[in-house]
Structure 1
Amino acid sequence: MAEREPSSGAHQDTLDDVLSVRSTGFINLEDPNYAYMYGFLQADGHLAQGVGNKGSLTVEINVRDIEILRAFQRLTPYNSSISERVRATNFTETHHSATWTLCSLEARNTLHQLGLPYGRKSKKIAPPRVAFSRRDYLRGVIDADGSIGLTGQGYPFVSLTTASTAVGVHLCRYTRQLTGAKRIIKRNTRDAIYNVAYTKEAAMRLAEDLYYPGCLALERKRTSAASLASWKRPADMKVAPPRRRWKDWEDRVLLTAGNSADAAQILGRTVASRSLRLWRLRTGQIALPPQEPLGHQEPLGS
């Protein structure tokens, strides 16, 4: 397949460019396999731009998962190669890895136009701006940058570690629509990364949806997902009620009345909940609520 010459000037990613590329069949994100592959590449791939038209897409993973690279090679109608190497890392003296390398300019242009950035990309990646298979895309992201299995206490879990706000929010929205589980993401203080996690029934439902029979996936993650189906909530384990978010008028009551009997009657919240919220407000961990507009009064107990 002939290589396309790059356009002059700065490259602009437009929807028309993407739709034109998709007409060739590579890479059609409504196809479950391509959607999975694209999610995996966003999370674990590296698109490098060299001098002139030179450059490459590479994906390096543990050799135990080499079959997924062979699947990508079969899905890609351009010449590519898979190599292996053993090297020392910070964690082991003999890390055996496999690397898939794709150099085609046309293929790289296609992936870049779809939203795969050149160079460092962890905060830049986002779900595609064209129609795509959502669950297959998310499975690719989780296979590359997530975990699935049982916690030390034996509870099912599905988690994702990402630096991308857009990807983290997309997972939260998808899972809320699927399971009803709500998450509000926040970067951790150590390395500014989002850690989005689901446990128990929500994790089971998410795993069942993402890792459906016959889907393209890392075999070890597929096996872990299947293992969640056997978990049953113990009879003595209560289901936690949905979190009730604090409203501005509740914060104003709390700041005025403190953790008093009046506040307890108006708010209908536990002592622990009121105490923690009041402490966070007074120490500046939570922004103070805006002043109540003149002439407006929130009905007590609403």
Structure 2
Amino acid sequence: MSHLDLTRDEHAYFFGFFQTDGHLSAGPGGKGRAAIEVSARDIDTLYAFSELFPDVPSSVTERSRATNFSRLHRSATWSAQVRSFREELIACGVPVGRKSDALRPPTVPFDPRGYLRGLIDGDGSVGFTGAGRPFISLTTASEAIAAYFCGQVLSVTGARRTPGRNRRDQVFGPMVASDPAATLAAWLYPAGCLALARKAAAAEAVAAWRRPAAMRARALSRRAWTPEEDEVVRSRTIKEAAEQLGRTEQSVNLRRWRLRQRAQAELV
């Protein structure tokens, strides 16, 4: 690909951010637009995207409008119309139009940390509960994205999280708190990384949190393999499967061996 290299942290971050806050539209004659709209307070990140792709002509504009939450909301939009750039986004797994429930991790090799940071900056939260416990959470309609978040939490912190839809609007809201949240924040937001300034500042505070001596720690549990994960193990290389599922290459290799043993036993 001439524009996107998702093995780079910054490009993977852009892709995750685009999947959450971006929109890809198509028009007649091969026309269309890739756009990301955010609050005007985050406009610096949009300018960083323009610098990230110097060979893709783009623009950053601002506007004010009334919303359900504010009488005067000021937003900023990054947009690009280059067809080849849009085609690369599609090839990597971005659907045209609004299909948030169909989103999934990239279909090409990618940097897992940058990608997850993009998802969190777009549709996640980083901070402290009212009781002072640090947390990192993600809100998504996509089961594949929720599973990826939980996989990365397990890989980085050892904490097991099982994604489930809430009853109110049927979206996923996986969250990690306390020690695992601090560990994840330190890994997810390294110094100088491309990120929303306010999220990076919150992550720095979360990473610095230490459990009070009187607070009891929860025991970590092992994460069971799902049929969907088994299919990834069968169809991808060990490295690709490990990155997508948020597991170690050793665990993926062991799982592949066990699946082969099971298949051989069924043939007997």
Task: Work out whether the TM-score is over 0.5.
Answer: yes
Report the Cα distance in structure 1 between the residues aligned to 2:174 and 2:149, rounded to whole angstroms. Answer: 8
**Distance apart, 1:243 and its partner CA:** 5.8
Q: Does 1:207 align with 2:185?
A: yes
Task: Select which of 82, 92, 98 maps to 2:70.
Answer: 92
Pick from 80, 86, 105 the counterpart of residue 127 of structure 1.
105
Counterpart CA distance in 2 for 1:33 and 1:113 is: 18
Partner of 2:95: 117
Gap runs ≥5 in structure 2: 224-268
* CA-CA distance at 1:179 after TM superposition: 0.9
State the SS of the aligned residue for 1:123. Answer: helix
Q: Which residue of 2 aligns with 1:48?
A: 25
**Partner of 2:47 in structure 1?**
70
Listed one character per residue, the Cα deviations across residues 258-298 of structure 1 (whole Å, up to 9, x for unaligned) are xxxxxxxxxxxxxxxxxxxxxxxxxxxxxxxxxxxxxxxxx
> What is the CA-CA distance between 1:51 and the residue it aligns to?
1.7
Q: Distance in 2 between matches of 1:52 and 1:137?
A: 32
How big is each residue's C-alpha offset from its partner over 1:207-239, in whole Å with a ceiling of 9 and x where there is no partner?
000000121000000000001133222222111
Partner residue, 2:219: 241
Question: What residue in structure 1 maps to residue 202 of structure 2?
Answer: 224
1:72-97 residue CA offsets vs partner (Å, 9 max, x unmatched): 11122221111100100000000000
Superposition deviation, residue 244 in structure 1: 9.0
AA at the equivalent of 1:129: T
1:153-183 Cα shifts (integer Å, max 9, x gaps):
1111000001111111111111101111111
Q: Aligned partners of 1:79, 1:244: CA distance in 2, in Å?
A: 47
* Higher Cα Rg, which structure: 1
2:11 equivalent among 34, 37, 53: 34
- Using the TM superposition, give the Cα deviation of residue 110 of structure 1 relative to its aligned residue in structure 2, in angstroms: 1.1
Instruction: Note the alpha carbon deviations across 1:83-118, whole angstroms, 9 max, x for none.
Output: 100100000000000011111111111111111110
SS in 1 for 2:136: strand
Paired amino acid for 2:22: G
Q: 2:264 matched to which residue of 1?
A: none
**Alpha-carbon displacement from aligned partner over 1:110-135 (angstroms, at most 9, x marks no partner):** 11111111001211111112111001
Shift of 1:240: 2.3
Cα shift readout 1:23-64 (whole Å, capped 9, x = no counterpart): x2x100011110100010011100011122111111110000
User: How many pairs were matched up?
Assistant: 222
- Render the CA deviation track for 1:187-211: whole Å, top value 9, x for unaligned: 1111110001000000000000000
- Larger % of helix: which? 2
The percent of aligned pairs where both chains have the same amino acid is 45
Aligned equivalent of 1:136: 114
Closer, same or farther: CA 82–204 of 1 in aligned 2, 3 Å: same
Residue 164 of structure 2 aligns with which residue?
A: 186
